């Protein structure tokens, strides 16, 4: 079969090169964007009198039929026609003849592919955005149930100070909220219309680029034709946003995996979100969380791959850039696969409140509060720190928690300690006296939840 560009060639392409060069296998997923872009381009060509009106109308009508036929599964794309752009143009020309041959006036596949990928990724960003909002909703609903669920907070994975599970969940709320704003920001830079850049140097036809942009819902048009066809920053930026989303899901997954262990036993994944072992009958494994953690690696890999693909290519379009699609498509698919399963996994897990509370009690998580107690009674903080350090050493020797010490024992360390110490260093007080903005006290987390709910009404 003759290629659309075969005029200056004496030989047909080697079969191996056809396969090697072709991107239809993976770029066919942009068929809708390709057709919508062509419809807008054809309409504009007609309006500007660049091609006859009747041709423009024929093109638009037939492109719509082709779209329907693709959606009905009636069309088989051909490897020989290279990519989605030439496949559709070829089908169009086979169906309407000369009019179809006029579609590509004032356009190159270089600006066409730049347009398609921008439109495709904007659609994906919108879908991922909805999924992120669902994750934010899930975190807030779960947090509402756990404003009194005390658990140990860690630093260095060593018990540090008590927090609540709601507070921990709301930390992830903040992370995913930033992810949402990063996606919106990335969308702004993706939302620029490149058609009219031509192959690299614009075109001599009086194209109305702004009309095409408006028709396709873009906010603006690219301002330099070389940049218009060469820019893949937005692809890399999205890969970076997706990597950060995965990183956040992976961190939480890692915690859930740890917490599912017998040693922690803070949570138990629902049976529907766990798997067993083929040999060990007792096993219940948090595979879903592990797979999310594992898939994070492939998304990071795509980000690095894209950066590397782009780093050495001179302006303007180079075929290397066809390699942008598989990584970004896979990164998008992976995030879309992970987010819903992540939400359902956390929504259905059992939270073992008693174990969390028990966990918060060991490990001297209230040591800071004993020191703060002494400070409030007049001791300078550094001295209080040293006194409590000695108390902790004593308690370890005697296998006690700080709140297990008797009044006589306390007095050994400092005679300013009185009976009110017990209340001052209970887990409940440790949590609920922490009332600065962003702290774990019940009333403060409730305020955070309220503002989260208000935020969710605006997105």
- Give 84 or 367: the residue with its C-beta nearer to ligand ARG: 84
Q: Report in angstroms how near the CB of residue 80 gets to ligand ARG at its nearest.
A: 14
Using alpha carbons, select from 346, 375, 235, 236 the residue that is nearest to residue 286.
346
Long-range pairs, 429-437, Cβ under 8 A, ≥24: 429/369, 430/161, 430/162, 430/365, 430/366, 430/369, 431/150, 431/162, 431/163, 431/164, 433/369
Tokens of 35: 């057709």
Got the DSSP string for 371-419? HHHHHHTT--HHHHHHHHHHHHHHHHHTT--GGGS-HHHHHHH-TT--T
Cβ–Cβ < 8 Å for 157, 364: no
Can you tell me the distance from the alpha carbon of 146 to that of 358, in angstroms, rounded to the nearest whole number? 16
- Give 104 or 209: the residue with its C-beta nearer to ligand ARG: 104
Q: Report in angstroms how near the CB of residue 14 gets to ligand ARG at its nearest.
A: 17
- Give 262 or 319: the residue with its C-beta nearer to ligand ARG: 319
397-432 residues labelled b (16+ CB within 10 A) or e (exposed): eeeeebbebeeebbeebbebbeeebeebbbbebbbb
Beta-bridged to residue 298, according to DSSP, are none
* Active site positions, annotated: 156, 277
Q: Report in angstroms how near the CB of residue 117 gets to ligand ARG at its nearest.
A: 8
- Give 236 or 421: the residue with its C-beta nearer to ligand ARG: 236
Cβ–Cβ < 8 Å for 221, 192: yes
Got the DSSP string for 38-57? HHHHHHHHHHTTSS-HHHHH
Q: Report in angstroms how near the CB of residue 110 gets to ligand ARG at its nearest.
A: 5
Phi, psi of 161 (to 5 degrees): -145, 150
- Give 23 or 36: the residue with its C-beta nearer to ligand ARG: 23
- Give 11 or 319: the residue with its C-beta nearer to ligand ARG: 319
Q: How far apart are the first and last CA of the chain?
A: 51
Q: Report in angstroms how near the CB of residue 199 gets to ligand ARG at its nearest.
A: 7
Binding footprint of ligand ARG on the chain (CB under 6 A):
23, 27, 83, 109-110, 113, 317, 319, 321-322
């Amino acid at each position: 079969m003759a290629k659309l560009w075969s005029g200056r060639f004496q030989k047909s392409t080697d079969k191996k090169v056809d396969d090697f060069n072709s991107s239809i296998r993976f770029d066919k997923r942009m068929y809708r964007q390709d057709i919508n872009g062509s419809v807008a381009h054809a309409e504009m060509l007609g309006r500007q009198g660049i091609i006859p009106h009747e041709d423009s109308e024929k093109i638009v009508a037939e492109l719509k039929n082709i779209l329907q036929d693709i959606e009905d599964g009636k069309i088989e794309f051909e490897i020989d026609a290279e990519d989605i752009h030439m496949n559709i143009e070829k089908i169009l020309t086979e169906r309407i003849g000369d009019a179809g041959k006029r579609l590509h006036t004032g356009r190159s596949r270089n600006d066409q592919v730049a347009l398609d990928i921008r439109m495709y990724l904007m659609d994906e960003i919108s879908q991922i955005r909805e999924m992120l909002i669902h994750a934010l909703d899930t975190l807030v609903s779960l947090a509402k149930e756990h404003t009194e669920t005390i658990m140990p907070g860690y630093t260095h994975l060593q018990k540090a100070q008590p927090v609540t599970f709601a507070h921990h969940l709301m930390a992830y709320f903040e992370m995913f909220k930033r992810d949402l704003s990063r996606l919106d920001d990335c969308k702004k830079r993706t939302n620029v219309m490149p058609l009219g850049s031509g192959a690299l140097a614009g075109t001599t036809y009086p194209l109305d680029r702004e009309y095409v942009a408006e028709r396709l819902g873009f906010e603006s048009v690219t301002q330099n034709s070389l940049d218009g066809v060469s820019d893949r920053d937005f692809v890399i930026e999205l890969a970076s946003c997706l990597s950060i989303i995965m990183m956040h899901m992976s961190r939480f997954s890692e915690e859930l995996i740890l917490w599912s262990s017998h040693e922690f036993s803070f949570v138990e994944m629902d049976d529907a979100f766990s798997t067993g072992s083929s040999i060990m009958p007792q096993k219940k494994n948090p595979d879903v969380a592990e797979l999310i953690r594992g898939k994070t690696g492939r998304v990071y890999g795509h980000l690095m791959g894209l950066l590397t693909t782009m780093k050495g290519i001179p302006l303007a379009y180079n075929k290397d850039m066809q390699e942008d699609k598989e990584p970004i498509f896979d990164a998008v698919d992976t995030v879309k696969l992970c987010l819903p399963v992540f939400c359902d996994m956390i929504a259905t897990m059992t939270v073992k409140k008693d174990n969390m509370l028990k966990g918060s009690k060991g490990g001297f998580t209230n040591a800071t509060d004993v020191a703060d107690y002494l400070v409030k009674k007049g001791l300078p903080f550094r001295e209080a720190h040293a006194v409590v350090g000695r108390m902790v050493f004593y308690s370890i020797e005697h296998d006690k928690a700080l709140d297990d010490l008797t009044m006589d024992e306390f007095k050994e360390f400092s005679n300013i300690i009185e009976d009110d110490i017990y209340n001052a260093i209970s887990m409940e007080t440790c949590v609920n006296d922490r009332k600065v903005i962003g702290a774990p006290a019940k009333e403060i987390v409730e305020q955070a939840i309220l503002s989260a709910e208000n935020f969710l009404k605006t997105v």
